[in-house]
Amino acid sequence: MFSIFLLFGIIVNGNASKTPADTYRLLHLFNEVFRHIRQESAVLISDRELIEGAISGMMRTVDSYSYYIPEERYKNMVVNFKGELEGIGLELVQEGEKTKVITPFEYSPAWRAGIKPGDQILSINGKKTDGLSLLEIGDLMQGTISEPIVLEIKREGSLETVRFTLKREKIVMKNIRWEMKGPVAYLRLSNFNYQHTSSHLKKALEAILKQNPKGLVLDLRNNPGGLLDEALKCTNFFIENSVIVQVQPREKEKTYRYETAKEALVPSLPMIVLVNEGTASCAEIMAGALQDHQRALIMGSSSFGKGKVQSILPLSPGYAAIQLTTAHYLTPKGRNIQSVGIQPDVLLKHSMGNQDIVKEEAINLLKARGETPKKGIS
């Protein structure tokens, strides 16, 4: 029983208990409950299941973004950071008891089926999602390649539900693509979810600059974010000698400011950045920095509003870990975007597709202007 005390003593150390004695009384309460379940529960549950369940419950008291990651899931996450994953390609978030889509990954089964940001997932293979953690929902979505999965979805503004039958597949993240639209370059950056995103973006920008473009449209719509380091490196290509983002922990006086390097790859090319309700987290950091420094015009609809920082903290032994909210993102000017998002300078809303009005408006605006767009241009 001492090992359980030790485990939870480490975890709660520094919490808001009034005295160490209060903390140990609460730990004693935990041990009492643990003992009763082991000895008297009608269902036999292993010690590992009990402890991991307790840790999962503890993580859920932080917020919906914090959770315990079992060994196998953590190993899969490490693979995902390299740009490969298996599944249907959804980035999810919890709002109270509701599970909603931040965005589907481009070209994934979910993306091809037409699942949209803001869709609420009501059930997975007939099992209701109410009350389940994101980790439990992730487990429901696990399966073998080509195995079907049935999602029941409620779309905002509709009273009816829709069922999608999708097949899991191996998804290779191709998160950067670009093309020239006359004298204007269009660059799509769909996520920061794996390492080397910044090096791939650099190669794309170098190729674009050889075309002597008149302007650049950077499309961050439906970009759910990803690795902070990669997002910072990518933003550094456009801004120099400036703060990119502020990271504010619980002790606000320890707020850390991430600054750019002295030189930027594309410091002055006229830019428009496209955002929408699926633009989240690190993508909002990039958009917020470009907006605060008046480096680019932000166009589209309000972004998602995920301004919390999650850290993946490995535990021992093995590969188990926790994802814990450790701070808040603030824009260079100190704006907290949590639940608010980045507000566009030019508000336009249209779905991405064959008739993408927002994209065409941005390209046409840059074609018509030879100077960097300033805030308030319509």
Residues 190, 292, 301, 303: which is the catalytic one?
292
pLDDT of residue 16: 56
At residue 214, what is the residue type? K
pLDDT of residue 324: 94
Strands 127-128 and 120-124: antiparallel
pLDDT of residue 195: 79
Q: How far apart are CA 204 and CA 272, in angstroms?
A: 17
pLDDT of residue 103: 84
pLDDT of residue 98: 86
pLDDT of residue 376: 39
The overall longest dimension of the chain from CA atoms, in Å, is: 76
Query: In sequence order, what are the beta bridge partners of 150?
Result: 165
Q: How far apart are CA 193 and CA 89, in angstroms?
A: 12
* Catalytic status, residue 108: no
Residue 291 — very low, low, confident or very high, per pLDDT cuts 50/70/90?
A: very high
* Strand, helix or coil for residue 348: coil
At residue 288, what is the residue type? G
Lowest mean pLDDT among 44-48, 73-77, 317-321: 73-77
Which helix (H) or strand (E) segment holds residue 9: the answer is helix 2-12
pLDDT digits (tens, 9 = 90+) for 203-229: 999 999 999 999 999 999 999 998 889
pLDDT of residue 196: 86
pLDDT digits (tens, 9 = 90+) for 183-199: 999 999 999 987 789 99
* Catalytic status, residue 292: yes
- Reference 368, options 360, 250, 349; nearest CA is 360
> Model-level pTM?
0.79
Mean pLDDT of the region 247-262: 92
Residue 32 CA, distance from chain mean position: 38
Query: In sequence order, what are the beta bridge partners of 69?
Result: 321
- Reference 182, options 221, 145, 211; nearest CA is 211
Mean pLDDT of the region 137-147: 86
pLDDT of residue 6: 35
pLDDT digits (tens, 9 = 90+) for 6-28: 333 334 444 555 688 899 999 99
Residue 1 — very low, low, confident or very high, per pLDDT cuts 50/70/90?
A: very low
Percent of all residues in the chain with a pLDDT value above 90, rounded to a whole number: 58
Give yes or no for residue 5 having a pLDDT over 50: no
Count of CB atoms within 10 A of residue 118's CB?
A: 15
- Reference 175, options 237, 241, 230; nearest CA is 230
Give yes or no for residue 37 having a pLDDT over 50: yes
Mean pLDDT of the region 121-142: 88
pLDDT of residue 82: 56
Domains in the chain (CATH in brackets) are: 2-69 (no CATH), 84-171 (2.30.42.10), 174-368 (3.90.226.10)
Residues 133, 281, 301, 303: which is the catalytic one?
281
Residue 4 — very low, low, confident or very high, per pLDDT cuts 50/70/90?
A: very low
Residues 202, 306, 308, 359: which is the catalytic one?
306
Residue 313 CA, distance from chain mean position: 17
* Catalytic status, residue 306: yes
